[in-house]
Every structure is written in C-alpha cells, then in structure tokens.
Amino acid sequence: MNLAKVARRRYTEGVTPLEKLDNFTKVLNGPTIYMKRDDLLGGTSGGNKTRKLEFVMADAIKQGADTIITVGAPQSNHCRLTLAAAVKENMDCHFIIEERVPNSYKEEASGNNFLFKLLGVKSIKAVVKGTDLMAEMEALATELKKQGKKPYIIPGGASNNIGALGYVSCVEEIMSQLFDKNLQIDYIVVPSGSTGTHVGMLAGMLGVNGNIPIIGIGVNRLKDIQTEAVYTLTKTVMNDLGIRTPLQQSDVIVYDEYIGDGYSLPTDGMIEAVQMLARTEGILLDPVYTGKVMAGMIGLIRSNFFKKTDNVLFLHTGGSPALYAYENIILEKDFYTKK
C-alpha cells in the first residue's frame, strides 16, 4: 500500500493528538480509554469529513472542476466541511439537504445552517426523505453546466472509494503514534454511518497488517445492511490499493443496538455519553454520531466485552456544532453528575 501515489490536498497541519482519558477511564472502571482527536482536524469545526475531502477534492481538481455539489442532512458536518474545503480551493458549492426527519430543515436555523450561510454556500435545496439524491444532484449539475460551470458531485458523507482513503491514511498516522508512544491498543471503536470512516479504518488496518480489531457502532442502518455495505466498499478500496491480505467477513464488526429510534433522534445513552465526556474530560461529543458511538462503547464496557487490562482507542470524529440544535434535550435531565 503506497498512498503517496494518490492525489491529496492538505487541510490539517500535522497530526491529531492521541490522548489518554484518565478521568473517563476511572469513572467507567473498565479498560483504559484513549481517544484519537479527529474533532481537531482542519476546516470549520473539523471532523472526519476533513480527512476524506483531502482525497476527494484532489480528485475534483484533477477533473478540472470549479463547482462542488453535495448532499447531507440539516446538521451535516459533511456539507459544512465540504463547503469549507471548496472555499479554500476557490470553488462554488451547492447543497441538496435531505430532511431525514420531516421538516427538520429550517431556513432561519442557527448552528450548522448559520455556518452554511457564513461560509457562502451558493444554493441550498431541501428535499423530503426518500428523494433520489443522486438524481437531484445530477439535475443541478446539468443546470450548472448550461451556465458554463464545471461541477463535481460528491456523494453523501464523501463515502466512496476515494473518500475512504482519508481513513486509510489515518491508520498509518495512528500506527506511527502508537509506535512512538510504545502503546499497545487492543481495539479501536469507530462510527459506522455512510461507511467511509469504518471502511478506511478496516482497509488501512489490513493494509498495514496491524491486527487491531475495528469495532463499528452504527448510527442509522441495521446491522445486516450496514455490514454488507462496509464489506463491499472495503473490498473495492483494498483492490484499488493492491492490499493482498484477505478480508474476512468476521473482520466487519457492526453494532446496531445504539441507534435508538433512528438517525439523529436522541437516546438516553447518547445524552449520558455527551454529559460524561464533557464533565470528566472537557471534550464535546455530538448528538448524531459520536454521542451514540460513545454510548456504544460505554455499553460494551458495562457488558464486559473488554478485559480490564485492555487498551481501547475511541475515534472521535467531530460534529460538535450539532450540539447547539439539541441544547434543551442535552440539559433536560442529568444522567451524569461529577461525584
């Protein structure tokens, strides 16, 4: 595997920290928890999409694009970070916003939506759940081409074989940090949403022969569908990179027990996780992704999935701007108060 052969832009200086969470570990009384701080990546409140975009935007530039079209939910970190990258590259950026929860896009909303406008999005079109999003983006691309633009479509979450390379490269970054710190990690816990992150981590781990299991915590789709989606894209990425270690079905680990009623809908476990991290480590999680993923890791610790002597690395993928759209829900009830 030689990522230097692939075109890449850089949106973060250096590497993100890999921190030991002493207080959080103590409260849970389980394995020792470490965190890869990808919430500190570049871009506006950076997160995992920043890594994927380094490869996807490089591809857009290679194709001669001057305009980006992408898609996401109202709280989409992917849309915000794509826009930030487009700004950097002097490109226009247009969004199709999918209301996965009915009427969830508000023209005048604060938080993420405010940031879309501040960063100078060219257009936002809200569509109802179930709309053919690729067809919407293609129709817009046709329109823009007539105006002489050169549009490039980025799929939801930048989760294709190109975007996933961001997390293949993250594995190399993590392995070098572990070597540097002389640290043995037994498991890595990652989000499994539009799949690019999970896929990149899995393909990368097989590519470096690192032998650390990657545990995916689902946030939207049921286990069977998610497992299949992760498996298929991982195969493609491994093939692109010429990784010869075989991918076993058992390498794809997905838990769907922490989704609750659906994508972006709050759960008590999410609220507890958000409060616990904020009140033990001063670190912000988000309600849609990392809060649920952390609820998953807490659940696994409480059900004794890990040994006490294990070292577990949690991949923090960012997303804190969404917190401001959930203020009342997060503070309504205390699930964790400092002893």
Ligand X SMILES: *Cc1c(COP(=O)(O)O)cnc(C)c1O
Residues acting as catalytic residues: 76
Distance in Å, CB of 253 to ligand X, minimum:
14
- If the CB atoms of residues 43 and 151 are measured against ligand X, the closer one turns out to be 43
* Residue number, 193 or 207, with CB nearest to ligand X: 193
Does an H or E element contain 19, and which?
strand 18-20
**Least distance (Å) from ligand X to the CB of residue 124?**
18
Query: DSSP characters for 309-331?
Result: T-EEEEEE---GGGGGGSHHHHH
Closer by beta carbon to ligand X, 36 or else 78: 78
Q: Which is nearer to ligand X, 113 or 192 (CB)?
A: 192
- Which CB sits closer to ligand X, 75 or 177? 75
- Best CA proximity match to 47, nearest among 277, 308, 226, 285: 285
CA distances (Å), origin 62, targets 9, 57, 186: 11, 8, 39
Binding residues for ligand X (CB under 6 A) = 47-49, 77-78, 157, 159, 191-198, 286, 289-290, 317-319
| Shortest Å distance, C-beta 143 to ligand X | 27
For residue 12, the 8-state DSSP code is: S
Residue nearest to ligand X (CB): 319
As measured in angstroms, the least distance from the Cβ of 313 to ligand X is 15
Of 66 and 172, CB closest to ligand X: 172
Other residues' Cβ atoms within 10 Å of the Cβ of residue 223: 16
Nearest distance in Å: CB 56, ligand X: 12
Cα–Cα dist 310/308, whole Å: 6
Q: What is the DSSP string of 101-152?
A: STT---TT--THHHHHHHTT-SEEEEEETT--HHHHHHHHHHHHHHTT--EE
Candidates 326, 289, 325, 263; CA nearest to 109 is 325
Distance, CA of 72 to CA of 159 (rounded, Å): 12
Least separation in angstroms between CB 278 and ligand X: 16
CB 37 within 8 Å of CB 316: yes
